Chains A and B, each alone.
Chain A
């Protein structure tokens, strides 16, 4: 499953990035956004998305709220907190340095 392996360790980064652009998304929309923007290359495993969301919520990076949809059902939407913005910055720069390093290794080898 190359697709999920590519996501290893970077799911947090992707979720935070998506939420920074478009606040108040529910879980499915986050997953769909990751798939769409990556051109269907990156796909979060649907079952493991929620534990990750809850972990980030407990860490205080995102916050959740129940809203009622037009259909009358409730859905839980997420948005970024101030701590989450900071975390996003840190994760982005970490990702940049890692991918830079990997690229360098690919070029040199």
Chain B
């Protein structure tokens, strides 16, 4: 109460003074009215001014009053230099906004704990293995029988939870016709209770639902799915849904903010673990295993024994799992069993998005921080210049008794004002930029859903940032200004170089950071351009892809007839079939046996294709021929050049045979042979960034051991259209296939161009944002350079005038004005190169075919910086040269 009145009195100092005056006045009048002599009454009262001062300081918060006065003063200072203030404000706002925006993304994706209880006690079980091509790798996937054994073994110390990846699955909600994609997660029944989650409706899965496929055909909707798919209809309980040939009953809706443990993906549907067809198999590792410590258990001491116990149980299971190691040699079994179980903290969830973007976000954070630092250096040198101009004012204040603390407060107030105003602007920028960046990561096939709440975590970060900025901006100028020696300053003879030294330091710093930003962004832009312009080896032009499923599978003849039907649709030029699209999410490899020998260490990937697929994709043949309708698999194969180099080096492969061996390999068993009929160039199979792999293509028509045709459960129609936007035909073709009622249904429509674009999402984003940051950094640094040089020329006008008067050549003047600054640029630039090399090592994995040591990667930032420096120094140099010595000397 009294604090409040003191604060509000401080806000209204004038009104308070009037009130006090009125009361004091009333006192004297009362005295006179009671019969005292007016002069005596006035004299007895004493000086009213002193009484008012004393009263005022009792009733108003003095520190606040001086703060308000300083703020008003700072505001006027900002208003006096409108252009510089606006530049400072804008550059700071961009810096702060970028930092907060990147923080929101990093926090939401990587740091923010899942909305569950006990997230700090949650760990992921993983194991270090020797992966494909002998590289060390980590395997996060576990077989359900192994999981059950481990859960049982440690149940007294910790709980294990099984959670599968969210999988985009075709779901039929009610009738047979409306099939939709929804992300489905299989979870062990212990998940909901252990996470402390409460249903929004109905009930959640419990450990009792782990019984098996027939016993618990229950499904839990996520709140999100219930909201957008069912409009929060409470009658959703008890409804059934179908996945493949399984039926599930909806028994409940999850809590509002829980979207699964996979950050970046919103789960629609939770199903019991054991309803998956993968669950019963000893050799199928398919779900994650989380470990949750019991409350109160000390992780430092409990984790290691748990790890050893779990590793022993899992090792025993895998060693005894006959289907896991069937057909392996002794050495292979030893290598297979040689794994180390490790725990990872999983309180913030786990996802591929985190893995893919951890480094990219780190880099974006670094770039944003650098831009902010550049802006701070810029504004600090601007304020140093202003403070130097106010050196006499400061000296006067000190000499009439202003406390030095008060002076520091004055300057800190001004920087706080700048920082707060900038952060208000920056908040708008951050509010817009974080969702914008997230939307760029999105692709229709792989939607990214991440909530970006602006809560206390973001606010706290913002306040911390403001504090940092205030200190960076104000502390140095404030200390400098308060250290002013009044006598020297008032005489006009304070060391004129000291503010310039500070500003030169700021220039060097700016240039170093700016170079780093430019260097990194040129690496990212070059990576993206090289990736985007990389020759594909096939055409994406007007290609529509219809990913199609056939519930129980259909004979190739049905697929071929459907393709034939599609060819007759107006707008369609040609149609071919492949098992799955290139650069999609599917890749399958198998070991290759030549002449019956055991397979070598290098596997080959494959794709089944119909005749004309090569011509529809515009892939040329190097030698041999395309498949004919009479070819079938096994029997014929077309291979790529890497396949030839790997398995038939130095030979003409046409007519040779090889056998893809199913895993496990059984020596001596009859392996059906594929005869190579054609060779095609290397084309990217699964990713644009990966090196060329050995790939073989087999005919779409498959036959089994008895030469009877096998059924095909899913395939992709590759449709070459004659319209510019092939998606325009999507609805027509989808309906066309549905109307044939032959069991085929389109589950997803995309274009080959989109699949190629999806490959470069991360690189595109990084390149775009890095270029943005580079442009901002260059602009801000240019403005800073301009300001410092202009200030220098203004300060040294006398010196320049005298030099000119005594006949100094123009080149000498130019050197005088610019030498220091260019030395600083050189110094900053070399520091920037060193920083750049250091930083680029950390992000090498994000580059594509570029190296930090490439000449043009260093040349571009250098050139850009020098150009900026030239443009920024030109006005100051011209002004220096236009100095009229007579005018200067006359003014002296």
**A9 CB within 8 Å of chain B:** no
Complex alpha-carbon distance, A36 and B5, angstroms = 33
Report which residue of B30, B50, B59 has the largest number of chain A beta carbons within 10 angstroms of its beta carbon: B30
**Other-chain residue from A27, A60, A74 in contact with B27 (beta carbon distance below 8 A):** A27
Complex alpha-carbon distance, A73 and B23, angstroms = 10
Chain B contacts for A27, CB-based, 8 A: 23, 26-27
Interface size on A, residues (CB 8 A): 21
Q: CB distance A51 to B58 under 8 Å?
A: yes
Known: A58-B6, A60-B1, A60-B2. A46 touches B27 (CB 8 A): yes
Q: CB distance B51 to A47 under 8 Å?
A: yes
Q: CB distance A74 to B54 under 8 Å?
A: no
**Other-chain residue from A29, A54, A74 in contact with B59 (beta carbon distance below 8 A):** A54
Q: CB distance A46 to B55 under 8 Å?
A: no
Could you say which of B41-49, B662-670, B677-685 contacts chain A?
A: B41-49
- Give the number of residue pairs across the A-B interface with Cβ within 8 Å: 61
**A22 CB within 8 Å of chain B:** no
Chain B contacts for A74, CB-based, 8 A: 22, 26
**A55 CB within 8 Å of chain B:** yes
Interfacial residues of chain B within 15-58, with CB under 8 A of chain A in the complex: 20, 22-24, 26-27, 29-31, 34, 44-48, 50-51, 54-55, 58
The distance from the CB of A96 to the nearest CB of chain B, in whole angstroms, is 28
Chain A contacts for B22, CB-based, 8 A: 74
The distance from the CB of B19 to the nearest CB of chain A, in whole angstroms, is 8
Q: CB distance B27 to A59 under 8 Å?
A: no
**Other-chain residue from A45, A55, A57, A75 in contact with B26 (beta carbon distance below 8 A):** A75
Q: CB distance B2 to A59 under 8 Å?
A: yes
Q: CB distance A51 to B54 under 8 Å?
A: yes
Known: A50-B54, A73-B26. 12 other contacts (CB 8 A): A27-B23, A28-B27, A28-B34, A45-B46, A46-B44, A46-B45, A50-B55, A51-B51, A55-B58, A57-B59, A58-B58, A73-B29
The distance from the CB of B8 to the nearest CB of chain A, in whole angstroms, is 12
The distance from the CB of B169 to the nearest CB of chain A, in whole angstroms, is 68
17 contacts between A and B (CB under 8 A): A27-B26, A28-B30, A28-B31, A46-B27, A46-B31, A46-B46, A50-B20, A50-B23, A50-B55, A51-B58, A54-B55, A58-B5, A59-B2, A60-B2, A74-B22, A74-B26, A76-B23
Report which residue of A32, A47, A60, A74 has the largest number of chain B beta carbons within 10 angstroms of its beta carbon: A47
> Which residues on B are within 8 Å of A, measured CB to CB?
1-2, 5-6, 20, 22-24, 26-27, 29-31, 34, 44-48, 50-51, 54-55, 58-59
Complex alpha-carbon distance, A51 and B54, angstroms = 6
The distance from the CB of A8 to the nearest CB of chain B, in whole angstroms, is 16
Complex alpha-carbon distance, A70 and B29, angstroms = 14
**Other-chain residue from B5, B6, B34, B54 in contact with A48 (beta carbon distance below 8 A):** B54
**A17 CB within 8 Å of chain B:** no
Complex alpha-carbon distance, A26 and B26, angstroms = 9
Chain A contacts for B51, CB-based, 8 A: 47-48, 50-51
Report which residue of A27, A29, A58 has the largest number of chain B beta carbons within 10 angstroms of its beta carbon: A58
Known: A26-B30, A73-B26. A54 touches B58 (CB 8 A): yes
Interfacial residues of chain A within 20-75, with CB under 8 A of chain B in the complex: 26-29, 32, 45-48, 50-51, 54-55, 57-60, 73-75
The distance from the CB of A30 to the nearest CB of chain B, in whole angstroms, is 10
Known: A28-B27, A45-B46. A58 touches B20 (CB 8 A): no
The distance from the CB of B146 to the nearest CB of chain A, in whole angstroms, is 71
Chain B contacts for A75, CB-based, 8 A: 23, 26, 30
The distance from the CB of B54 to the nearest CB of chain A, in whole angstroms, is 4
Complex alpha-carbon distance, A29 and B30, angstroms = 8
The distance from the CB of B591 to the nearest CB of chain A, in whole angstroms, is 87
Q: CB distance A47 to B59 under 8 Å?
A: no
Complex alpha-carbon distance, A27 and B50, angstroms = 17
